[in-house]
Structure 1
Amino acid sequence: MITRRSLSIACAFVILAACGGGGSSSDSGTTVASYTLGGTITGLSSSGLVLGNGSATLSVASSASSFSFGSTSGSYSVTVVTQPDGQTCSVSDGSGSSTTDVSSVKVICRGYVAYVTNAGGSSLAMFSVGSDSGLLTALSTPRISTTYEPSTIVLNTDGTYAYVAYRNNKRISAYSVGTTGVLGSLGTADAASAGYALGLGPDGTTLYAANYGAASVSQFSIGTTGVPAAMTTASVSSGVNPQAVVVTPNGKYAYVANASDNTLSQYSVGSSGALTALATAIFDISGIGKGPVAVAVDSESNYLYVVLADSGLVAQLAIGTTGLLSSQSFVTAGDSPSAIALSPDGKYAYVANAGSDSVSQYSISSRTSTKGYLTALSTASVEAGDNPVAIAVSPDSSYVYVVNSTDATVSQYEIQSGGALQALSAATVATGGATPTSIAVR
């Protein structure tokens, strides 16, 4: 078995404003007090963590318990630039302004966790992800109950908040992610209808809900408490029965797959996160295939991939400079494909095929002439469980997890060299509920 590679990132230091006599000079000649910026690190056990403060970056050694950027001046905002291998870190008390030394910034790291929504029995299953094996293990609190039947769950980038939508109620629930991975209820908001998809803006300050029964997309702002609040314009129109929503990683555009009229809604994302329909609001995908049910965007925000359930295809669309989509190509999937996930390293794509109990696997071309094109691997698919409906790739591009709705399991795979999936030593793990519908890993 191939083990997760170790990342080795050389320290990068950016020279900040020169210090002298306890201060530095601004362009106006005013002396600005300088100070040392640092804090504590909890739970870091692997290499690869890079912190940022403005244009300055700092690589942090494995198992470090503290960090320091040295001298800085004016305001500060510490962020995670690169996550460590196999872990997710977040920053608290990371921004402010000071004239004296700052040592109160906190960086908290944990291993990967995975969450599965069980519509049958109305619960959320919670797992840790083995740091060396990739195997899912139920947490000490393996499940929490939900009032309604959950349809999907999403996690923000630094893994501090989770959001859940329901297939039988318009409620959206917000949860905090504890240091052990256990979810804690924060509050709720209401969309326009029940739905099957949520999309987060890349900075985690906006949330979008596809309203399956209302032909619209509800839009929310997310403040410091993590709880969604409806924007002034609470929703925007979409096509019929919107079933998937995605925001480009650069935060400029959003796309919604409308399952019943074979269209994609196209939006620009404003500075406040509000959606505005593009000049051409609708892209008709029926010329390629029917039944758009899932979407994914590449990490460079150049390509949109659309799962066409009724045609057994994956459409590849180019994202233009104004956000408008154009046809590129398509590839064959299995029967009734239901979900798609791209590896974060940009090399591979995987599609869950509900009708053929399989996972299709593709490479993503990086060549200039064919960039973004999917090509089936030599082994075009691998076996999954009964009725696979959701799929996720671990943040380090090492493992793939597939939710099997009928037998209430998660199939577990390692991504081998070349992108082919290999079942882990325990091929499946039970979700502890019935009719699972989605999975999120971070």
Structure 2
Amino acid sequence: MKINSNSLNPPVDQGSQRSTGVTYGKELISRLYKRIVIGIVIMTLLSVPQLAWADIKLTDVDTGQSPMGVAVNPVTNKIYVTNTISQDVTVIDGANNTTTTVDMNRFTPTAVEVNPVTNKIYVTLPGGNAVIVIDGTNNTREIVETGRSPIAVAVNQKTNKIYIANQNTNNVTVIDGADNKTTTVAAGVSPYAVAVNPETNKIYVVNNGSDNVTVIDGVDNKTATVATGATPNAVAVNPETNKIYVANTGSDNVTVIDGVDNTTATVATEDGPKRVTVNPETNKIYVVNYYSFSVTVIDGVNNTTTIATGEFPQAVAVNPITNKIYVANIYSDNITVIDGTDNTTTTVATGDYPEAVAVNPETNKVYVVNSRSSNVSVIGGTNNSKISPLTASFDKKVSAQADVTTTMTLYDSTLSSIKKGAATLTEGTDYTISDNIVTIKKEYLSAQAVGSTELTFTFSNASTKTLTINVNDTTSPTLSTTSASFDKEASAQADVTTTMTLYSSTLSSIKNDAAT
């Protein structure tokens, strides 16, 4: 780990105000010194050679000056980057990485969010006390007035309502996406972040200055207040479990809100939890700990673990399809990629000072905003080929036999082979492929023994997936002989035999009338 003046003065973002060369008080410097030993240990861990990983940097795309925020429209495959110094938004076409620039009327854009349903993009302008709405079809703009210093934005795609946290007027501007008319809802002190649960139509506003969350009912804009830890500054929602996770930087923990009744629980983290995101598919929550160079992984059911990252992790995003988590580390100029299945990590280099990250799960591309090098690193996950489902069953009973199918998600790869052990299946005979659907033929499966048949799919990018087929046989058991004779005369007595064909059954009992 490098120990220099910059390491002792980490960058801090306070809304739209960012600093990289300010002087910090003794308490912060003391706090950071306590983390130097931890940092050295973590960097040592990161220097250990990793297994080959498929997430690689594909290219860097130039943006405006000092990019800060990023959002993705997975439907149109467009990426929107806010540039603070050049006061514009760079629109990247994900298909070919060509760019278009949208001017922000001489105001500094910060946060950005997309409604993929309406193809509208919402950009906050803290200095202009407004939001610019970009029409994704033609990049035309409309200005919508907000409260003072709009700093965060969230979209409810189901209701087409947009929620803007106004830091200096302690309220939220609600924009109706149909006509851009607005309503104002009171919040706590210094609202700093906002998230939406589209399933319950509840909105959660983190109030950085009053250590609480304002819960807005999207139906009538009535509010409730829920206490949190100290200095909350990030929030994420799991709509599947109706749990809300608030990262409290000042108390080094996460407040977990039950969306049903607003009761809370507290989960400890490492030093300086700054960002939080959720994978609703796995019910895992990822909390970026800024000062301890780590991520706390919360199992939504019962436990936590800690994973090392690079220096000063700043942002985090999840790809729920591949179960990969991407953490931007601003001082080590890279991202930590966490495999959600086993929490193993790898590192991918980025540009200078990566401070925001967004994922397009449809293309399996990751976009990392590099503030100082004024570009976006495009990370491609090429080793994420998969099949679904991973398990199936097959009945050898003639009347019940049916082909087994599984669907491949290939990304940029192709299927190389399907094997059972060392034996390679023959395409056209043992299986067929149509529109990425693999059909394992019943003729092949009927020849397999009862039990587990494991078929290994190998892809051109060297990734593998296993389809496990449980082969059984519900054919009724048979006896080779169903009648016989027995002579009770002592000299003529002999055993009676019959051969059972059990298929998948076992013999439970033999009875003579009621007698076993």
Structure 2 residue aligned with 1:376: 345
Structure 1 residue aligned with 2:453: none
Structure 1 residue aligned with 2:236: 246
Is the 8 Å Cα contact of residues 209 and 219 (structure 1) preserved in structure 2? yes
1:154 matched to 2:154? The reply is yes
| Alignment equivalent of 1:345, drawn from 313, 321, 333 | 321
Q: Please, what is the CA RMSD of the aligned residues?
A: 3.4
Structure 2 residue aligned with 1:188: 184
1:121 to partner: Cα distance: 4.5
Q: 1:411 to 1:194 in 2, by over 3 A?
A: same
Q: Aligned partners of 2:180, 2:145: CA distance in 1, in Å?
A: 11
Contiguous gaps of at least 5 residues in structure 1: 3-44, 47-85, 90-109, 131-137, 366-372, 421-442
| Alignment equivalent of 1:268, drawn from 229, 250, 258 | 258
How high is the TM-score relative to the length of structure 1? 0.54
Is the 8 Å Cα contact of residues 339 and 351 (structure 1) preserved in structure 2? yes
Q: Aligned partners of 1:382, 1:173: CA distance in 2, in Å?
A: 38
1:120 to partner: Cα distance: 4.6
Q: 1:364 to 1:416 in 2, by over 3 A?
A: same
Q: 1:359 to 1:244 in 2, by over 3 A?
A: same
Structure 1 residue aligned with 2:380: 415
Q: Aligned partners of 1:122, 1:243: CA distance in 2, in Å?
A: 20
1:207 to partner: Cα distance: 0.4
Q: Aligned partners of 1:266, 1:216: CA distance in 2, in Å?
A: 12
When you count strand as a share of all residues, which structure comes out higher?
Answer: 1
1:261 to partner: Cα distance: 0.9
Q: Aligned partners of 1:349, 1:237: CA distance in 2, in Å?
A: 29
Q: 1:208 to 1:147 in 2, by over 3 A?
A: closer
Is the 8 Å Cα contact of residues 200 and 247 (structure 1) preserved in structure 2? yes
How high is the TM-score relative to the length of structure 2? 0.47
Q: Aligned partners of 1:128, 1:418: CA distance in 2, in Å?
A: 34
Q: Aligned partners of 2:159, 2:377: CA distance in 1, in Å?
A: 21
Q: Aligned partners of 1:142, 1:382: CA distance in 2, in Å?
A: 37
Q: Aligned partners of 1:333, 1:257: CA distance in 2, in Å?
A: 18
1:341 to partner: Cα distance: 1.0
Q: 1:395 to 1:142 in 2, by over 3 A?
A: farther
Structure 2 residue aligned with 1:208: 204
1:414 to partner: Cα distance: 5.4
Amino acid at match of 1:375: T
Q: 1:417 to 1:124 in 2, by over 3 A?
A: farther
Contiguous gaps of at least 5 residues in structure 2: 1-56, 59-74, 77-113, 386-516
| Alignment equivalent of 1:330, drawn from 286, 298, 306 | 306
Q: Aligned partners of 2:188, 2:303: CA distance in 1, in Å?
A: 30
1:168 matched to 2:168? The reply is yes
Amino acid at match of 1:211: N
Q: 1:255 to 1:185 in 2, by over 3 A?
A: same
Map 1:41-440; keep pairs closer than 5 Å.
Answer: 88-89=116-117, 110-111=118-119, 113-126=120-133, 139-141=139-141, 146-158=146-158, 160-177=160-177, 184-203=180-199, 205-223=201-219, 229-231=221-223, 234-270=224-260, 274-277=261-264, 281-285=265-269, 289-300=270-281, 302-320=283-301, 325-327=302-304, 329-365=305-341, 373-377=342-346, 380-384=347-351, 386=353, 388=355, 390-394=356-360, 396-403=362-369, 411=376, 413=378, 415-418=380-383
3-state SS of 1:139 partner: coil
> Size of the alignment, in residue pairs?
276
Q: 1:410 to 1:200 in 2, by over 3 A?
A: farther
Q: 1:87 to 1:317 in 2, by over 3 A?
A: closer
For residues 419-442 of structure 1, the C-alpha deviation after alignment (integer angstroms, 9 at most, x for no partner) is 69xxxxxxxxxxxxxxxxxxxxxx
Amino acid at match of 2:271: K
Structure 2 residue aligned with 1:61: none
1:220 to partner: Cα distance: 0.8
Q: 1:275 to 1:308 in 2, by over 3 A?
A: same
When you count helix as a share of all residues, which structure comes out higher?
Answer: 2
Q: 1:115 to 1:410 in 2, by over 3 A?
A: farther
Is the 8 Å Cα contact of residues 401 and 410 (structure 1) preserved in structure 2? no
Is the 8 Å Cα contact of residues 156 and 204 (structure 1) preserved in structure 2? no
Is the 8 Å Cα contact of residues 344 and 397 (structure 1) preserved in structure 2? no
1:88 to partner: Cα distance: 3.9
Q: Using the TM superposition, name which of 252-261 and 341-350 deviates more.
A: 341-350
Q: Aligned partners of 2:232, 2:378: CA distance in 1, in Å?
A: 30
Is the 8 Å Cα contact of residues 351 and 359 (structure 1) preserved in structure 2? yes
3-state SS of 1:352 partner: strand
Percent same amino acid among aligned pairs?
A: 24
Q: Aligned partners of 1:364, 1:398: CA distance in 2, in Å?
A: 15
Amino acid at match of 1:359: I
Q: 1:405 to 1:198 in 2, by over 3 A?
A: farther
Q: Aligned partners of 1:197, 1:337: CA distance in 2, in Å?
A: 18
Amino acid at match of 1:307: V
Q: Aligned partners of 1:303, 1:319: CA distance in 2, in Å?
A: 6
Is the 8 Å Cα contact of residues 206 and 235 (structure 2) preserved in structure 1? yes
Amino acid at match of 1:350: Y
Q: 1:299 to 1:415 in 2, by over 3 A?
A: farther
Q: Aligned partners of 1:303, 1:352: CA distance in 2, in Å?
A: 18
Q: Aligned partners of 1:340, 1:174: CA distance in 2, in Å?
A: 26
Is the 8 Å Cα contact of residues 126 and 139 (structure 1) preserved in structure 2? no
Q: Aligned partners of 1:299, 1:155: CA distance in 2, in Å?
A: 17
1:204 to partner: Cα distance: 5.4
For residues 57-82 of structure 1, the C-alpha deviation after alignment (integer angstroms, 9 at most, x for no partner) is xxxxxxxxxxxxxxxxxxxxxxxxxx
